[in-house]
Amino acid sequence: MKYLVKKIVTLIMTLFLVSVLAFLAFQIIPGDVVTSILGTEATPEREEALRKELGLDKPPVVRYFRWAGDVIRGDFGESYRYSKNMNQMMPVKELIGDKLPVTLLLAALSMILIAVIAIPLGVFWARSKNRFLDVVLNMGTQTAMAVPSFFLGVLVTYLFGILLKWFSPGGYVSYKESFWGCVRYLVFPAISVAIPKIAMTARFLRNSMLTESGSDYVRTAYSKGASERRVAYFHVLRNAMMPVVTFLGMIVAEIVAGSIVVEQVFSLPGIGKLLISSISTRDFPVVEILILYITFVVIVVYFLVDVLYRVIDPRISNK
């Protein structure tokens, strides 16, 4: 319990710190949201009116606390930039709520790919006695990890989209229109997200399994006459998975926090893309909430991994 309280306090402190940093950042960077919205041809009267409407005529400190107060009350404000209709701006909540499923779906697909491919690959690799295969896998995974993500995205688009025509680049189907159509499209960005992560996870799992195989309990299991297969799958894998879980947790956090590059390359309307465009249009309310969201996700996922660890391995909490 004390542990949980401590974690929650940390979370709140970090969120506060992040929100202040983001606010300060917006004070510093050039670019006025009013000009950004109205362009260069607007009348000064309109600029003034808009400034007032957005509350930008108030001093920064007042603005920050007013904003923070609203957020605490659950009011995330409205985008400066996106209008919902003729006379109402888009609430940030709705805007993000609309983009989030895309990112989450992408994350889910990527995780499925990673789990389905990396785990068997890692186990197979750890058990393989073939040195040549070891070299091939080693080089292969190293190479996969060395490809820059936007280069990978471009390569996937080029290969599957343009040469093989398995999907039409940019032909993203909204999940609201057709869920499976959306999944079908998202498979390809998921592939580009997954490839380096598969390589990392497989390497990680292999190393972890090799370390575990040297442990006492494995020797005991052998001496008891357990088959090699049984040892590999039941004993070693279970223990070797623990650090892998942490690793996968970090990957989840990373993807859920928005795969900015991949979303850009495949023009997916997810939160990564929203973050970039909101920064470049100086849409402060959207950026603030997105940053808070990302912080929240990262910290909570780390926390869950930590909890999971304690559940799997009671030794940690006893310590």
Partner 1 sequence: MKKVGAWFKKQNAYFLVGLVMTGLAVMLGILSFFWTPYSTTAMSAAERFHGPSLRHLFGTDNFGRDIFSRVMQGIGTTVIVSSLIVVISAGAGILIGAITGYFGGILDEIIMRITDAVNAFPSILLALVVISILGSGKQNVIFSLGIVFAPSYVRIVRSEFIRLRDADFVCRARLMGVKKLRILFIHILPNIWSVFWVSVTIGFNNAILAESGMSYLGIGVQPPDASLGKMLSDAQGYLGRAPWYALAPGLTIVWIVLGFSLLSEGIRRKEAGKR
Partner 2 sequence: MKKKFGITLMALLLVAALGGCAGGKNPEDKSSEASNTTAESSAPGQQSVDPNASKDAKYGGKVVVGVQQDIDSLDPHKATAAGTKEILFNIFEGLLKVNENGSLICAVASDYSVSEDGLTYTFTLRDNVKFHNGNNVTAEDVKYSLERASGLLDGTPLISSLKTLKSVDIVDEHTVQVTTESANLELIYSFTTAIIPKGSGEAEGSNPIGTGPFSFVSYKPQEGLVVKKNPYYWQEGLPYLDEVNFKIVSGADSALLELKGHSIDLYSYLTDSQAAELANDYQILAAPSDALQALFLNNAEAPFTDVRVRQAVCYAMDRDLANEFVTGGNSAIISAPMLPTLKDYYEDLNGIYGTGANVEKAKQLLTEAGYPNGIEFSVKVPSNYEAHVQTAEVLADQMKAANINLKIELVDWNTWLEDVYKGRKYVATLCAITSDMTPSYLMVRFQSGHGKNFINFASTAYDEAYQKAEKSMKLDEKAGFYKQAEKIFVEEAGTAFIQDPPITIALNKDLAGYKFYPIYVQDMSTVYFTNK
Using CB distances below 5 to 8 A depending on partner kind, what does residue 177 bind out of partner 2, partner 1, none?
A: none
Of 231 and 309, the one with the shorter C-beta distance to partner 1 is 309
| Least distance from partner 1 to the Cβ atom of residue 44, Å | 25
Q: List own/partner pairs for 15-19 with CB under 8 A and 24 or more apart.
A: 15/292, 15/295, 15/296, 18/291, 18/292, 18/295, 19/68, 19/71, 19/288, 19/291, 19/292
- The footprint of partner 2 on residues 202-261 (CB under 8 A) is none
Q: Is 110 in the site for partner 2 (CB under 8 A)?
A: no
* Beta-carbon-side half-sphere exposure of residue 223 (alpha carbons within 13 Å): 6
Q: How many CB atoms lie within 10 A of CB 291?
A: 20
Judged by CB under 8 A, which stretch of 122-130, 167-175, 222-230, 246-254 contacts partner 2? 167-175
Count of helices and strands (H, E) across the chain: 15, 2
Q: Is 155 in the site for partner 2 (CB under 8 A)?
A: no
Query: For residues 242 and 215, what is the distance between their CA atoms, to the nearest angstrom?
Result: 15
Q: Is 59 in the site for partner 1 (CB under 8 A)?
A: no
Query: For residues 266 and 171, what is the distance between their CA atoms, to the nearest angstrom?
Result: 9
In this structure, which amino acid lies at residue 16? Answer: F
Q: Is 261 in the site for partner 1 (CB under 8 A)?
A: yes
Binding site for partner 1 (CB under 8 A): 10, 13-14, 17-18, 21-22, 25, 28-30, 130-135, 138-139, 142-143, 145-151, 154-155, 158, 162, 257, 261, 275-276, 279, 287, 291, 294-295, 298-299
User: Contact positions toward partner 2, by CB under 8 A?
Assistant: 29-32, 35-46, 49, 79, 81-83, 85-88, 90, 95, 98-99, 157, 161-162, 165, 167-171, 174, 264-267, 269, 273-274, 277, 280-282
